[in-house]
Amino acid sequence: MRPFSYEKAATPAAAASAAAKNPHAKFIAGGTNLLDLMKLEIEKPAHLIDVNGLALDKVEATPEGGLRIGALVRNTDLAAHDKVRKDYPLLSRALLAGASGQLRNKATTAGNLLQRTRCPYFYDTNQACNKRAPGTGCGALAGFSRQLAVIGTSNTCIATHPSDMAIAMRALDAVVDTVQPDGAQRHVAIADFHTLPGDKPQVENVLKPGELITSVTLPKPVGGAQVYHKVRDRASYAFALVSVGMIVQKDGTGRLAVGGVAPKPWRVEAADAELPRGAKAVAAKLFAGAKPTHDNEFKIALTERVIEASLADLRRA
Amino acid sequence: MQGPGDFEVSRRDVLKLGAAATAVPLVAKGQAGSPAEAPVSTQLSLNVNGKVHALKLDTRTSLLDALRDHLQLTGSKKGCDHGQCGACTVLVNGRRINSCLSLAVMHAGDKITTIEGLGTPNKMHAMQAAFVKHDGFQCGYCTPGQICSAVGMLSEVKANVPSHATTDLTAPCALTNPELRERMSGNICRCGAYSNIAEAIADAAGVPAAGRSA
């Protein structure tokens, strides 16, 4: 790990301002992904701004009937929150499908959104990776790509976004609230928060230098039957091969976002509209324009089956 | 505290300059990173097992390394050092975490409990006694992490924290065998002592073990 200086932030705006002044600074909250990457010298901040002391750890009702989730609310606490369990069970389920008990006790809401890909070529510093070292190429394209993305990719990067939580938030139309270095606030729909790799896979979201996530706001509950169905190589404590977060209303209409297949939580409104017609119709719209590799084309068929299984789960519920 | 740029040229800078002089842009590790710096040390106090220790540490020191290398509390083990195995699990303010994925400097003011603080050979914690009774280990390397994790896990069940194995999110949590196994999945035992570990935890929790009548 490279040496770094360390400070505790006093206020969100002060944290953002300090980070904007130092291009080598990073925020640290739970640290479960950042420290992992710092040990491997994939992340090399020269300065850490510890935001854990900021009062961003509350879950509060909004005047619109929704829920404002502080950036520092731990994954365990969010999954266990009474209102989330009752009104947004998809979010509880997605959180509980990720990581381990120990990690969920540390991992934060904002940090979960900002976690980096687990692409093995990103993690192995001896391999070419345009995300880790722009311009060096992508070892995954002609390499082992079974775990990687099938849609939303580019010829520079086929990494997936690893978050389970973000899949639920995408299906729930969450909004990411931030503070900028000048103290101004910004509200970004989660659909627009994560970016596709294009020719800049090192850029993963729309945050500007120094900008700090302060909370994530959920709109008022949409009801319906909700399910998060994750398929992985072992029964627990593994990243998704494919995951489906789905909400279906009594009349058969609904919405879904899928994980493990794209560089961001993947949702296509035209696919939502096909839900009453079943999994095959939904998958066709979800994966229009997909560019799978030989190793990961199975994910398209697998996703269709997980959608079918999720619909069956909801019919039984 | 000294900031970036306050230090003279380091060996790493010399190496970087050497690489730049030969103009090789295709070095996978050679992205525009942070400037090389000398280590930064910081003073802090850690409350571990009820005792406060004053320490001067490199900011990079993980909580695990502070416990093991600076406080000689070697019960907590380093397995993977990346949060994948759970051998380093300790309790911070009663919650289980991976001490390898946390910086010591972030824990000033916290109450840290390690396996040494749970019990002693002469006065074992109920979970330690249950692991002995049920032979919940072979080599023993993962055991301190398993025990600290199990103690933290039972507090989570008591606080009604659900898990991936919970069938009804709105009902009180019950520690069935599938629940227990899911909740302990962050602790790997390469000897494969899982069934005895599960029986030890079930015994300590006062719930029936799998495959046995209540």
Among B4, B37, B97, beta carbon nearest to A105? B97
CB < 8 Å to B187, chain A: 100
The CATH homologous superfamily for domain B119-214 is: [2Fe-2S]-binding domain (1.10.150.120)
Tell me, what's the pLDDT at B20?
Answer: 41
Cα separation, B142 vs A132, whole angstroms: 33
Answer with the residue of higher pLDDT: B143 or B209: B143
Both tokens assigned to B4: 């970036």
pLDDT tens digits, one per residue of A134-161 = 999 999 999 999 999 999 999 999 999 9
Among B98, B153, B170, beta carbon nearest to A85? B170
Residue of B nearest to A32 (CA): B101
User: Closest Cα to residue A105, out of A68, A72, A82, A58?
Assistant: A72
Residue of B nearest to A25 (CA): B34
CATH topology assigned to domain B40-118: Ubiquitin-like (UB roll) (3.10.20)
pLDDT tens digits, one per residue of B109-130 = 999 999 999 999 999 999 999 9
Tell me, what's the pLDDT at B211?
Answer: 54
**Within the 137-156 window of chain A, which residues sit less than 8 Å (CB to CB) from chain B?**
none
pLDDT tens digits, one per residue of B36-61 = 579 999 999 999 999 999 999 999 99
Q: Are A143 and A296 in contact (CB under 8 A)?
A: no
Residue of A nearest to B40 (CA): A5
* Element housing B199 (H / E): helix B194-205
Cα separation, B20 vs B14, whole angstroms: 10
**Phi–psi pair at A3, nearest 5 degrees:** -65, 150
pLDDT tens digits, one per residue of B166-185 = 999 999 999 999 999 999 99
Task: Using the predicted structure, report yes or no on whether residue B210 has a pLDDT greater than 80.
Answer: no
Task: Using the predicted structure, report yes or no on whether residue B14 has a pLDDT greater than 80.
Answer: no
Tell me, what's the pLDDT at B28?
Answer: 34
How high does pLDDT run on average in chain B?
87
* Element housing B54 (H / E): strand B51-58
Among B58, B159, B185, beta carbon nearest to A237? B185
Cα separation, B193 vs A25, whole angstroms: 43
Tell me, what's the pLDDT at B35?
Answer: 56
Q: Are A95 and A75 in contact (CB under 8 A)?
A: yes
Please tell me the distance in Å from A46's CA to the nearest CA on chain B. 6
Cα separation, A280 vs A307, whole angstroms: 9
Contact A46 B35 (CB under 8 A): yes
Residue of A nearest to B38 (CA): A3
- ipTM value: 0.97
Using a CB–CB cutoff of 8 Å, tell me whether A296 touches chain B: no
Contact B42 A85 (CB under 8 A): no
**Within the 94-133 window of chain A, which residues sit less than 8 Å (CB to CB) from chain B?**
96-97, 99-103, 105-106, 125-129, 132-133
Per-residue pLDDT band at B7 (split at 50, 70, 90):
very low
Among A32, A133, A135, beta carbon nearest to B83? A32
Task: Identify the residue whose tokens are 């360390």.
Answer: A6
Task: Using the predicted structure, report yes or no on whether residue B76 has a pLDDT greater than 90.
Answer: yes
User: Closest Cα to residue A21, out of A31, A13, A10?
Assistant: A13
Amino acid at A190: I
**Within the 40-69 window of chain A, which residues sit less than 8 Å (CB to CB) from chain B?**
41, 44-48, 50, 52
For B183, the 3-state DSSP assignment is: helix
pTM: predicted TM-score of the whole model, two decimal places: 0.92
Tell me, what's the pLDDT at B144?
Answer: 98
Q: Are B194 and B182 in contact (CB under 8 A)?
A: no
Tell me, what's the pLDDT at B209?
Answer: 86
Among A36, A86, A106, beta carbon nearest to B97? A106
CB < 8 Å to A72, chain B: none
Which of A87, A105, A126 to probe the B interface (max B CBs under 10 A)?
A105
* Element housing B43 (H / E): strand B41-48
Domain boundaries, chain B: 40-118, 119-214
Half-sphere exposure in the Cβ direction for A277 (13 Å, CA): 11
List chain A residues with pLDDT less than 50.
Answer: none
